[in-house]
Amino acid sequence: MENGKRKLALISSRGTLDWAYPPFILATAAASMDWEVGIFFTFYGLPLLKKDFQASVSPGSNPAMPMKMPFGPEGFQNFNWPIPNLIANNIPGFESMATSLMKKTFKNKGVASIEELRDMSVELDVRMIGCQMTMDVFGFKREEFIDEAEIGGAATFLEFAADANVSLFV
């Protein structure tokens, strides 16, 4: 903790739409409270730093995910559609349909998009560290990532996190 500022250190390791939210929400909220914030994007979290990224939900791998319809009367919208795993996992196009329904539901309810939250993180000087090792493993290039991202490894993040007040792995 430098300059008496509180410090938040986050690890973002999952790239689905739903799991992309928590690190960006916490980062922007903390930065808005004048905290110093750093996020280490590693494994499946790393693509969230790409200039172009497509985060999807994965209902098949998360059976607890509620399926909501983003249109129609309120009772219809709030209804939780039971989707058997057999369908969620096996019907081609189900994931992209579920993703677009989820994005629409978020938007209708007034939740910012991941893109907006990331832009805000940049604006609020959130330090975003992309994992070099993950880049090497998946064959990503530096130029695929936003300019504001810095590239580093575990030691880079740990040095930042060493005196953090709050550290979370997402």
Partner 1 sequence: MSDLKVVKTLDCSGMLCPMPVVKTKKAISDMEIGDILEMISTDPGAKPDMEAWARQTQHDLLETHDEGEKYRFLIRKTH
Where along the sequence are the contacts to partner 1 (CB under 8 A)?
Answer: 6, 25, 28-29, 31-35, 109-112, 120, 123-124
Q: Which is nearer to partner 1, 25 or 151 (CB)?
A: 25
Question: Which residue spans within 22-164 are E strands per DSSP?
Answer: 36-41, 127-131, 150-152
> Least distance in Å: CB of 26 to partner 1?
8
Pairwise CA distance, residues 111 & 141, whole Å: 31
- Which is closer to partner 1, CB of 6 or CB of 50? 6
DSSP 70: S
The kind and range of the H/E element at 65 are none
Q: How far apart are CA 87 and CA 157, in angstroms?
A: 40
Our CB check for partner 1 shows the closer of 30 and 83 to be: 30
Task: Kindly state the smallest distance separating residue 126's Cβ from partner 1, in Å.
Answer: 11
> Which residue lies nearer to partner 1 by CB, 7 or 95?
7
| Distance of closest approach, residue 87 Cβ to partner 1, in angstroms | 30
Query: Closest approach of Cβ 153 to partner 1, in Å?
Result: 29
Q: Which residues of 51-68 are buried (b: 16+ CB within 10 A; e: fewer)?
A: eebebbbbbbeeeebebb
